[in-house]
A and B are shown apart, each in its own frame.
Chain A
Amino acid sequence: ETGVTQSPTHLIKTRGQQVTLRCSSQSGHNTVSWYQQALGQGPQFIFQYYREEENGRGNFPPRFSGLQFPNYSSELNVNALELDDSALYLCASSPGTGGSYEQYFGPGTRLTVT
């Protein structure tokens, strides 16, 4: 069983640029959630996708957008990058959206905005 994978591992961008991060969910999982983790803090929920539809969004501006594909992989897009967007971006998949479903995290993408 293949776990959650993310690409790229590390990324350096300049303020104002746009970035796309990718996530492949674990086999059999139809739900993907994205989190932003600043250094020394807990992850913050960005949004969740369930069967290609957005299923909830955290307190992030519209320049954070996402997509889920028919194979349940997902993308996170961030436009007009700001210095504060520098963080570890974590993707997590689960077999559904029920409250008891554990989320399985990928290794993350470390984004640095200069």
Chain B
Amino acid sequence: GQNIDQPTEMTATEGAIVQINCTYQTSGFNGLFWYQQHAGEAPTFLSYNVLDGLEEKGRFSSFLSRSKGYSYLLLKELQMKDSASYLCAVTQAAGNKLTFGGGTRVLVKP
């Protein structure tokens, strides 16, 4: 089976840094995606990791350790508009069908 775990909710202050962890247990792991989803809207792509290490993209960075079945999404210089759910999703074998975790709701306070 597959198991993808991420915290349900996190709160942080505007301008701060927040790290959202995701652990997974899945057969035939291929890669890991992070998506952002504002309430009532479609998920939008943030990052994709297939090799171990850190991928940086502006204020957002994502890290993957394949041996540990672990990833994190780092959000720096938090802005109010970053209040959203952050979804960790894995792909298996050679395909791109996504298996999602439950999502982490991040609330940014002034």
Contacts and interface: CB of A to CB of B under 8 A. Distances in A.
Contacts of B44: 105
Nearest to B35: A105
Given A42-B103, A98-B96, A100-B96, A105 B42 contact: yes
Given A98-B94, A99-B50, A99-B95, A43 B42 contact: no
Interface of B: 4, 30-31, 33, 35, 41-45, 48, 50, 87, 89, 91, 93-103
Nearest to A48: B97
Looking at chain A's contact residues, the main secondary structure is loop
Contacts of B45: 102-104
A42 B97 contact: no
Nearest to A46: B97
Interface residues of A, number: 30
Contacts of A107: 41-42
Given A42-B89, A43-B98, A56-B95, 10 more contacts: A41-B103, A43-B100, A44-B100, A56-B97, A58-B97, A94-B96, A97-B95, A98-B96, A102-B33, A107-B42
